[in-house]
Homo-oligomer: A and B are copies of this chain.
Amino acid sequence: MALVLADTMLSRGLQAIQREIDNAFDVLLPVPEDGRKKLIQAIRHATIGGGKRIRPLLLITVAELYGVGRSSAVRAGCAIEAIHSYSLIHDDLPCMDDDDLRHGKPTVHKLYDEATAVLAGDALHAMAFELLASESTSGDPFVRSELVMCLSSASGHNGMAGGQMMDMESENETFDLHTITRLQQLKTGALLGAAVEMGAILGHAPAEARAQLKNYARDIGLAFQIVDDLLDHEGDAEKAGKALRKDADQGKQTFVSLLGPERAREQAQALSDQAIGHLSAYGSEAEMLRAVARFVVERDC
């Protein structure tokens, strides 16, 4: 999957973070010569060399606004990427979305088997919290426990897992725009919000800044999902590295089916502009966050 970005700053930032996250997972996951070998290989397949790394980019960028050291921020970035990866492995299972392809590579259950995919997801889920609770991520135990609280609540039944359940139920029910918005805020928004919030926690950002950053995250999260629906509607499966138009085939309501493609795109653009507005307290040091807000609506995969 080629990632073509008009924005050079963002492109360079993502490339650097992709490299750092790949290296960190490589070090964290040596392949043991025992019965766990296949498990670790499956986890490596899912975590190394795939994905845009938008969540770690957000986390690390916010952390650096407040002077957090790079290695702490990268470890916390690995934790949120571990949660994101586990959710993709489980979502791709035959009993869920039944996908064969992810980031242009075979999904874990295709390359290995379903049981390995279930366990690889579970092990990554645990690893995220092990990373956050470690002194290498922060010497301050309050920061560590706040990071765990933020990520666990974004991942559980009041966050991503809850949103995924609502999404499954939406095949059988007709949802209105309000319900779809709520669903997407849980399913994808919670984790994007956690990325930004975890950066703020690591950086001991003041409460007012944290509130503005949360608003920024909420807006780009929603814009991100609307564009996902647009790309699913009109996009290129090869570029996306995954199967498309599955929602429509399953009769699910999306932002595009409810608003139509034109109003959906307008809405995404308005949210992106609004997200940038929430960064008005920052100068050029927040340029990367502005670039992310633009990228979210301009991306073609």
Report which A residues bind B (CB closer than 8 A).
34-36, 38-40, 43, 86-87, 90, 93, 95-96, 113-116, 118-119, 121-123, 125-130, 132-134, 141-142, 144-146, 148-149, 151-153, 155-157, 159, 161-162, 164-170, 173, 175, 179, 182-183
Contacts and interface: CB of A to CB of B under 8 A. Distances in A.
A214 to B, nearest CB: 18
A148 B122 contact: no
A202 to B, nearest CB: 14
A127 B152 contact: yes
Binding site secondary structure of chain A:
helix
A91 to B, nearest CB: 9
A284 to B, nearest CB: 35
A27 to B, nearest CB: 14
Which among A36, A39, A122 has the highest number of chain B CB atoms within 10 Å? Answer: A122
Contacts of A35: 165-167, 169-170, 173, 175, 179, 183
| Tally of this chain's copies | 2
Which among A36, A113, A155 has the highest number of chain B CB atoms within 10 Å? Answer: A36
A133 B157 contact: no
Given A121-B122, A130-B156, A39 B145 contact: no
A111 B6 CA distance: 50
A114 to B, nearest CB: 4
A135 B39 CA distance: 34
A115 B168 contact: yes
21 contacts: A34-B179, A35-B166, A35-B170, A35-B175, A38-B165, A38-B169, A39-B161, A39-B165, A90-B119, A95-B118, A119-B165, A121-B122, A122-B155, A123-B156, A123-B157, A129-B152, A130-B156, A134-B149, A144-B145, A144-B148, A145-B145
A157 B115 contact: no
A34 to B, nearest CB: 7
Contacts of A36: 157, 162, 165-166
A134 B90 CA distance: 27
Contacts of A151: 129
B133 A164 contact: no
A164 B126 CA distance: 14
